[in-house]
Amino acid sequence: MPKIKTRKSAARRFSKTGSGKIKRNKAYRGHFMTKKSAKQKANLRKGGLVSHADKKRVKSMLGV
Three-state DSSP at 31 gives coil
pLDDT of residue 1: 83
pLDDT of residue 19: 94
Domains assigned to the chain: 8-62 (4.10.410.60)
pLDDT of residue 32: 96
pLDDT of residue 45: 95
pLDDT of residue 64: 80
First-residue to last-residue Cα distance in the chain: 15
Residue-wise pLDDT tens digits, 2-61: 888 999 999 999 999 999 999 999 999 999 999 999 999 999 999 999 999 999 999 999
